[in-house]
Amino acid sequence: MTKKVFYATLATLFLTTGTVCAGTTFETLDVDKDGAISQQEAEAMPELTEQFAKLDLNQDAKLDMDEFAKFAAVE
């Protein structure tokens, strides 16, 4: 029982780390899946936070997929 929980936790940690290592995408950054990256969600990526104001063309404090695509193109 305890062992099972341990392995489940380990698997979760591995999956979480694996997602980050595989490259951050719009889908992984959009934690609440509302179709936009909020400033809080952007904090997972320091480079994105730096450019957030510049990328947020319509200044709604969120990056939609088009706005994020410009960041991805720069990288």
Residues that bind Ca ion (CB under 5 A): 30, 32, 34, 56, 58, 60, 62
**Phi, psi of 64, deg, nearest 5:** -85, 180
Residue 26 near residue 55, CB atoms below 8 Å:
no
Minimum Å distance from CB 48 to Ca ion? 13
Minimum Å distance from CB 23 to Ca ion? 18
| Identity of the residue, 11 or 69, whose beta carbon is nearer to Ca ion in the bound complex | 69
| Identity of the residue, 2 or 59, whose beta carbon is nearer to Ca ion in the bound complex | 59
The region that residue 29 occupies, defined by phi over 0 for left and psi between -120 and 50 for alpha, beta otherwise, is alpha
